[in-house]
Copies of this chain bind each other. A is one copy, B any other.
Amino acid sequence: MSNGELTRRTFLTSVGVTGGAGALFATMGALGHAPVRVATPDFQAPQRADFHLTGRSTRRIVILGGGIAGLTAAYELGKAGYDCTVLEARDVSGGRNLTIRGGRVEKDLDGHTQRADFSSGTYLNAGPARIAQWMVTLDYCRELGVPIQPFVNANADTLIYQQAAGAPVRFRTAKADLYGYVSELLAKATDQGALDTVLTAEDKARLLSFLEDFGDIGPEHDYAGSPRRGFASYPGAGEDRGSPLPGPPSLSDVFASEVGRYLSFEFGYDQAMMMFQPVGGMDRIAAALTARVGRQRVRLGAQVLKVTGGPSDVTVTYRQGGREQTITADFCIATLPPHLMARIPHNLGTNITAALAAFFPFAAGKIGLEYRSRWWENDERIYGGSTQTDLDIGQIWYPSHDFHAPRGLLVGYYHFADAAEAYGALPPPERTARAITQGVKIHGPKYRTELASAFSMAWHRTPHLEAAWNYAPWDDPAAFRLLLQPAGRVYFAGDWLSQAVAWQHGAFLSARAVVTALHQRVLKS
């Protein structure tokens, strides 16, 4: 950028200069302030009264896939009395909304079989694990009576581990150092007049006042550490002011360490705290939906073989208990992962197959490590949250619940793409061994010696799912749009057809959109 562009015009509106504080603040309200109420997407659940009033009758619906999208479609349509049947290929409903407890068996596509040995009360949310405040998922928790508790998605006392550094640093320390040096640099540049062409004297005074506080740099504008970094031992009784941590490192060292790359995660609109999880496991949502739909309507172990759309109905062929069966309904809602749906024979047109196949399946892996003690709480004072690394484990999560219990479960890796493929290709015991070797680098030998059991998911190698999630083909928006419309009497739904891919929020809203469209069509027919 050229020097000339850096003018006052770039930074200042005339309001602040000419209108005085009153006008300025009035403008603030108009320009930038959030309405306190968050608009949630309009949705009117179908009701029985919709039919009573019109004299029309409900319809039979066959739903392919008993994940969140499929269950939600059945649940919402069920409110108006639609006769829904859900075909789910796996032995449990919920799809990727999967909580692993002791006794759970998973066999992957490579023939690796695992049985969870977790003790009672211990569980791994193998798929979705966190819910942001604005997500419709929370509305479903409230409506379904699923109690929630905080999910710790950011914690000043978790760690950043970079291989080159060889020792972890706590987030609070990295943050204090980065904010300190950024403030020092900008304050000194301001002091020296480097911003005089773009800032008024008032702007400068306000900026410096902010930086002194934000970076804890003092009136001299030198960052020389801060209690915000944390302590080797914290202030205590009498005159014990605690022991500071060594440091801070020099500005150059702090930026060279690249710890700064981990700080923006917690600013994300979908990741910023507070976040939440159901008490007792994410599958409480799937279980509650399934119960409301009615277990008898959710056929487990039912694998879809063929979809045949006709002018007035849809026939689905599926295999359950080794027997091929068909079901005919007025409409079908297909919520299978698109790359799997693309493989199922149908008569909906080759453009549909091509559009489904255009999505990008994505690999992710997660491992649950049950420990005999909660050493991360008792010894390291880490109560929830995640440690971020540049190791192939990606991150380590500490549990957000049952604090101070005798045992607990860490997520020993949550990783994607190449790392997920590399671990997923290993037999599960080797995945565990590799994860433990990495974790020992951060937490020391207890990471190995305190281990009780492990269970890992390689989503891309999990039958009937074969991906952690699917990204839309952004180079081919027509494919995405095509699937937002019904193919005859077949509708498509899932997080993959939303702007919240890999979030239950997307699956819920996509299902709602299809429910609304289908119901309106029925009421008009």
Contacts and interface: CB of A to CB of B under 8 A. Distances in A.
A433 to B, nearest CB: 22
B207 A245 contact: no
A261 B404 CA distance: 35
Copies of this chain in the oligomer: 2
Given A210-B178, A252-B16, A509-B237, A1 B194 contact: no
Contacts of A234: 38, 134-135, 269, 505
B243 A39 contact: yes
A43 B354 CA distance: 69
A151 to B, nearest CB: 9
Given A25-B166, A481-B239, A381 B133 contact: yes
A228 interface: yes
Contacts of A269: 172, 227-231, 234
Given A150-B400, A210-B178, A41 B165 contact: no
A381 B166 contact: no
Interface string A267-301: 11100111010000000000000000000000000
Contacts of A203: 251-252, 255-256
Given A24-B253, A133-B155, A185-B195, 14 more contacts: A11-B252, A30-B246, A31-B250, A32-B246, A32-B248, A33-B169, A35-B245, A36-B159, A149-B403, A185-B199, A216-B267, A238-B499, A238-B513, A273-B273
A99 interface: no
Contacts of A33: 165, 167-169, 173, 245-247
Contacts of A10: 222
A3 B190 CA distance: 11
25 contacts: A24-B253, A25-B257, A26-B166, A36-B443, A41-B236, A133-B155, A133-B157, A134-B230, A135-B234, A147-B403, A149-B149, A149-B150, A149-B403, A154-B273, A155-B273, A178-B214, A185-B198, A189-B194, A192-B194, A200-B252, A202-B256, A203-B251, A203-B256, A210-B260, A239-B481
A522 interface: no
Contacts of A276: 383, 403
Interface in A178-221: 178-179, 181-182, 185-186, 188-189, 191-192, 194-195, 198-200, 202-203, 206-207, 209-211, 213-214, 216, 220-221
B192 A41 contact: no
Contacts of A237: 41, 497-499, 506, 509-510, 512-513
B165 A28 contact: yes
Nearest to A31: B249
Contacts of A25: 162, 164-166, 256-257
Contacts of A136: 236
B210 A378 contact: no
A383 B274 contact: yes
